[in-house]
Amino acid sequence: MSLAPGDALTSHNFGLQIDGVMVEYLAEVSGLTLEQDVITYQQNSAQGRPEVNLLPGVQKNGQCTVVRGMTQSAAFNTWINDSINGQMGSARKNASIIMMDYQNNPVKRYNMRNAWCSKIDASTLKAGEASALTETVTIVFEELVIE
């Protein structure tokens, strides 16, 4: 790994992999969130003093948003269409957001289990505009494992 002690990863070197296939032309990943319930458990000690303990509860599902260049990626488009059309047998896939070091070696992974597309938003089309078209995809998932 090319990171020296104390170095941090940079935000520009990342990738998205869906069922082992890297998604090409990725511009941004944001809003990667996961939440877990917190259970408050109150009891009295042997000396009669109140004690409060916090316990981990149920892990909630999560989501993230991916912005990518609008391309003719057949695999990505099929995955989005399966999700939007409710074909969940083929839409639920395992996906990973991969952080890479300066030499493009994977350093950290956010593995999302049973991920699928819940929303797609195409960029604005405007006559005379000279910018790349993008699509913003919201990905939801059932479990997140960080490696």
CATH number for the domain spanning 139: value is 2.30.110.20
The pLDDT of residue 1 is: 52
pLDDT for res 140:
95
Contact present, 26 and 66 (Cβ < 8 Å): yes
> How high is the pLDDT of residue 76?
83
Structural domains in the chain (count): 1
Quote the pLDDT of residue 56. 95
Q: What is the DSSP letter of 41?
A: E
How high is the mean pLDDT in each 10-residue block of the chain (147 residues)? 72 88 87 91 94 93 92 84 92 94 89 95 90 92 92
Q: Give the model's pLDDT for residue 2.
A: 67
Burial (CB count within 10 angstroms: exposed 0-12, middle 13-18, buried 19+), residue 39? exposed
Q: Does 34 map to a domain?
A: yes
Residue 123 included in any domain: yes
In a domain, 1, yes or no: no
In a domain, 6, yes or no: no
Total-model pTM: 0.82
In a domain, 132, yes or no: yes
Predicted local distance difference test score (pLDDT) of residue 33 = 86
List the structure tokens of 21.
């296939």
Residue 7 lies in a domain: no
- If you write DSSP's letter for every residue of 75-144 in order, what string do you get? HHHHHHHHHHTT-HHHH-EEEEEEEE-TTS-EEEEEEEEEEEEEEEEEPPP-TT--S--EEEEEEEESEE
Phi/psi at 124 (5° precision): -70, 135
Instruction: Determine the structural domain holding residue 30 and report its residue range.
Output: 14-146
The answer to the question of residue 4 being in a domain is: no
The answer as to whether 57 is a domain residue is yes
